Structure 1
Amino acid sequence: MLDVIRYLSAFIMPGLLVLLFTRVTYNRIIGLVLTVALIAASVYKGYTGSFLLIVIDAFSLTAGFWMAAKMKQRAVKRS
């Protein structure tokens, strides 16, 4: 059960963090860098147990970065 929660949160949380940091800083690159720094710190502390979790984190980061770009395009289009 714990593994399912880990994989599910690795699939969702990094993308949401990229969106959150992008929204706060108004820059999607900075949002991505801050999220990668948080993931790197968790890997360093030993919270990431397998290589598959890192791959899922990377996929979620990519999806979050893409969604941040779409969010920015919509904001520019409305203005």
Structure 2
Amino acid sequence: MVIEYLSALIMPGLLVLLFTRVTYNRIIGLALTVGLIAASVYKGYTNTFVLIVIDAFSLTAGFALAAKMKQRAVKKS
């Protein structure tokens, strides 16, 4: 049970960062991650409201970090 909560706290944010890095667009990275989370909810892997809230928090944090990552890349160039 604890592993589910830790995964929900860490993985969506990392996925947003990964997809943002691969696609060079943070909106697309966010959309792909939301799609994966929606598929897991549909399949029944995310079965409590608390896990969905933790996923949303992690998505928000990952989106903010992706914005910082993009600013840092632009500043470096």
TM-score tier, shorter chain, comes to over 0.9
TM-score normalised by length of structure 1: 0.97
* 2:74 alignment counterpart: 76
Is 1:60 paired with 2:73? no
Question: How high is the sequence identity, in percent, across the aligned residues?
Answer: 86
Matching residue of 2:29: 31
CA–CA separation in structure 2 for the residues paired with 1:39 and 1:49:
12
The 1-side partners of 2:39 and 2:22 are apart by 21
Encode CA deviations 1:13-45: one digit per residue, 9 max, x unaligned: 000000000000000000000000000000000
State the match for 2:45 in structure 1. 47
Kindly report structure 1 stretches of 4+ aligned residues shifted beyond 4 Å: none
User: How does the TM-score come out when normalised to structure 2?
Assistant: 0.99
How many residues in Structure 1 have an aligned counterpart in Structure 2? 77
Task: Measure, in 1, the Cα distance between the counterparts of 2:15 and 2:64.
Answer: 13
Q: Which runs of 5 or more residues in structure 1 are unaligned? A: none
Unaligned runs of 5+ in 2: none
Provide the C-alpha distance between the structure 1 equivalents of 2:43 and 2:76, rounded to a whole number of angstroms: 43
Give the Å deviation of 1:49.
1.5
Give me the whole-angstrom Cα distance separating, in 1, the residues matched to 2:48 and 2:37: 13
State the match for 1:17 in structure 2: 15
